[in-house]
Amino acid sequence: MASMMQPQIILLKEGTDTSQGKAQLVSNINACTAVADVVRTTLGPRGMDKLIHDANGSVTISNDGATIMKLLDIVHPAAKILVDIAKSQDSEVGDGTTTVVLLAAEFLREAKPFIEDGVHPQNLIRSYRTACNLAIDKVKSLATSIEGKSLEEKKSLLSKCAQTTLNSKLIGGEKEFFATMVVNAVIAIGTDDRLNMIGIKKVPGGNMRDSFLVDGVAFKKTFSYAGFEQQPKKFLNPKILLLNIELELKSEKENAEIRLSDPSQYQSIVDAEWNIIYEKLDKCVQSGAKVVLSRLAIGDLATQYFADRDIFCAGRVAEEDLQRVAAASGGTVQTTVNNVIDEVLGTCEVFEEKQVGNERFNIFSGCPSGRTATIVLRGGADQFIEEAERSLHDAIMIVRRALKNSTVVAGGGAIDMEISRYLRQHARSILGKSQLFINSYAKALEIIPRQLCDNAGFDATDVLNKLRQKHAHASGEGAPYGVDINTGGIADSFANFVWEPAVVKASPHYLLGPVTSFCFLRSLC
């Protein structure tokens, strides 16, 4: 009788999804695989771009894993984690975003049969972690350093590295041209960590080959008033004054109130306004600057005043551009024109206003601190330039990383095959179930060369067999062999300069821990 009186306990809101256990794990894994299937075909030099059309009607064409994943707007909680790892790979390393998604999904897919057979996820996670650490150590031991080489040698090596990244992109056809540009830009900014010190300006029209690199800053001509035409458009070694003030005759604020007892006083108020602005302009001129830039407006009066004194001015310069001019020219942005001493003025070898396509550009080159570079990108359609910009971003990140870490490994699936072989060999020395799990991790790594083949239309099984055989040599002489994208066979990737910075190949393994743990959570509400 008492048991019948027991009240019903309601813990969760109505409609809560309480599925958990094996079925939920498998469903998480399936969701991740579905996401990976979307980006799978973009991997490698023969990968295809995706055209994504979103609800707002904007169209993006991209080959970049992170960009595609971001645009997919995934809602599945477990699959979302793949978006996060693509994003973190993008911000940490800048390349290898498709690779990381594919690998993560493949590791999970390999784990699926074990989960279905009732293996506890913790056992899998433990073995995967061991495999991860082994893989990372192996990548490190295989990495070749480019440290200690001369600048010229380094440049050519880095350019080869950048070309590998650009291979698979829309601008792959001009990879040498762009790789050189990227390497020069990265070397120009030196050790500066701020990525925004490399500006990329897009000017639709023209040919890709019309793109050029400025060893300084370039930005589109800002809005200007009459009088501008009379200003000189080229200076050698000018002093540059950077301002964050308005140089404009201000009309009175609407609710300003001035009481006058005598109408003749009115003129004195008008004069006062003029005096203020003339005083400001005088100070600018006295500073000796030949180029005056301001983040705020420079009005018609000021423009004419400067023109009469052979000074160039530009108002409403974007904050980012002004900061870059400051960094490059060695100047400091002033919030007042009082006390403008020589130290706060910047300089550069050549300042010039030039026509680029349909736009006019202000270009500061030969900057003394040299911590900035600007790439002016040309090309047909808008979407084309956008994708070119993303590809250059990838290449810039890669070169920066390679310069910083200066170790590279063989790409084209070579490193993945080698780790796979190493793990298999290691697994044989392990007793118990862990052997199977590590083997499945090893097998998952083969997805990279396999997908490279699939995307290029090669017989993946055939190429993989050749690769396995090559990598089986205990001497390690086959280690740098990967997919030869030109012939459909295998080739020494390292000798062919298909290189990847070691970090690109190590980070998927670093990222794996959180992914597996998350996807193997026993329940998701």
From the list 42, 60, 64, 95, the catalytic residue is 64
Q: What's the CA gap between 77 and 518, in Å, rounded?
A: 10
Compare residues 29 and 491 and give the one whose CB is closer to ligand ADP.
491
Residue 330 interacting partner from Mg ion, ligand ADP, none (CB closer than 5 to 8 Å by kind)? none
Query: How many residues in the shown chain lie near ligand ADP by CB under 6 A?
Result: 25
Q: Which two tokens stand for residue 157?
A: 């090596």
CB–CB of 97/106 below 8 Å? no
Specify the 3-state DSSP secondary structure of 233: coil
Q: Is 90 in the site for Mg ion (CB under 5 A)?
A: no
Q: Give bridge partners of residue 491 from the DSSP assignment.
A: 482
Among 412, 480, 501, 508, binds ligand ADP (CB under 6 A): 412
Q: What is the DSSP string of 326-342?
A: HHHHT---BS-STT--G
Q: What's the CA gap between 75 and 59, in Å, rounded?
A: 21
Q: Give bridge partners of residue 351 from the DSSP assignment.
A: 235, 364
Q: Which helix (H) or strand (E) holds 501?
A: strand 499-501
Q: What's the CA gap between 273 and 252, in Å, rounded?
A: 9
Binding mask 56-95 for ligand ADP (x = CB under 6 A): -------x-x-----------------------------x
Question: Of 165-173, 263-271, 327-335, 372-380, which segment contacts ligand ADP by CB under 6 A?
Answer: 165-173
CB of 428 to Mg ion, least distance (A): 33
From the list 42, 67, 98, 99, the catalytic residue is 98
Question: Of 48-56, 96-104, 127-135, 288-296, which segment contacts ligand ADP by CB under 6 A?
Answer: 96-104
CB–CB of 329/280 below 8 Å? no
Residue 117 known to be catalytic? no
From the list 440, 435, 482, 431, the residue with the least C-alpha distance to 458 is: 482
CB of 187 to ligand ADP, least distance (A): 22
Query: How many residues in the shown chain lie near Mg ion by CB under 5 A?
Result: 2
CB of 229 to Mg ion, least distance (A): 46
Question: Of 267-275, 345-353, 364-372, 479-487, which segment contacts ligand ADP by CB under 6 A?
Answer: 479-487
Q: What is the DSSP string of 154-198?
A: HHHHHHHHHHHHHHTSGGGGGHHHHHHHHHHHHHHHTT---GGGE
Compare residues 146 and 298 and give the one whose CB is closer to ligand ADP.
146
Residue 483 interacting partner from ligand ADP, Mg ion, none (CB closer than 5 to 8 Å by kind)? ligand ADP
Among 28, 159, 167, 329, binds ligand ADP (CB under 6 A): 167
Compare residues 175 and 378 and give the one whose CB is closer to ligand ADP.
175
Q: Which helix (H) or strand (E) holds 361?
A: strand 359-365
Compare residues 199 and 411 and give the one whose CB is closer to ligand ADP.
411
Q: Which two tokens stand for residue 522?
A: 């026993």
Q: What's the CA gap between 458 and 450, in Å, rounded?
A: 9
CB of 369 to ligand ADP, least distance (A): 32
Q: What are the two backbone dihedrals, phi and then psi, of residue 382, each rounded to the nearest 5 degrees?
A: -55, -45
Residue 337 interacting partner from Mg ion, ligand ADP, none (CB closer than 5 to 8 Å by kind)? none
Q: Which two tokens stand for residue 96?
A: 């290898």
Question: Could you say which residues in the range 24-63 bind ligand ADP, by CB under 6 A?
Answer: 42-45, 47, 63
Compare residues 365 and 496 and give the one whose CB is closer to Mg ion.
496
Residue nearest ligand ADP by beta-carbon distance: 411
Q: What's the CA gap between 223 and 38, in Å, rounded?
A: 44
CB of 394 to Mg ion, least distance (A): 5
Sign of CA dihedral 289, 290, 294, 297: positive
Among 95, 110, 248, 454, binds Mg ion (CB under 5 A): 95
Residue 97 known to be catalytic? yes
CB of 75 to ligand ADP, least distance (A): 23
Count the Cβ atoms, other than its own, within 10 Å of residue 167: 21
CB–CB of 241/334 below 8 Å? yes
Residue 64 known to be catalytic? yes
Compare residues 306 and 481 and give the one whose CB is closer to ligand ADP.
481
Q: What's the CA gap between 394 and 93, in Å, rounded?
A: 9
CB of 295 to Mg ion, least distance (A): 36
CA–CA–CA angle 231, 232, 234 (5° rounding): 145
Residue nearest Mg ion by beta-carbon distance: 95
How remote is the C-alpha of 57 from its chain's centroid?
24
| Residues in CB range of 493: below 8 A, 6 or more apart | 410, 411, 412, 413, 414, 480, 481, 482, 483, 499
Compare residues 315 and 508 and give the one whose CB is closer to ligand ADP.
508
C-alpha dist (Å) from residue 270 to 246, 255, 260, 261, 275: 18, 17, 13, 16, 9
Q: Is 164 in the site for ligand ADP (CB under 6 A)?
A: yes
Q: Is 500 in the site for Mg ion (CB under 5 A)?
A: no
DSSP 488: S
From the list 60, 97, 99, 374, the catalytic residue is 97
Residue 418 interacting partner from ligand ADP, Mg ion, none (CB closer than 5 to 8 Å by kind)? none
CB of 458 to ligand ADP, least distance (A): 11
Among 94, 96, 121, 480, binds ligand ADP (CB under 6 A): 96
Among 302, 485, 511, 515, binds ligand ADP (CB under 6 A): 485
Residues noted as catalytic: 64, 97-98, 394
Q: Which residues are near Mg ion by CB under 5 A?
A: 95, 165
Applying CB under 6 A, the residues found at the interface with ligand ADP are 42-45, 47, 63, 65, 95-99, 164-165, 167-168, 411-412, 448, 452, 482-483, 485, 498, 500
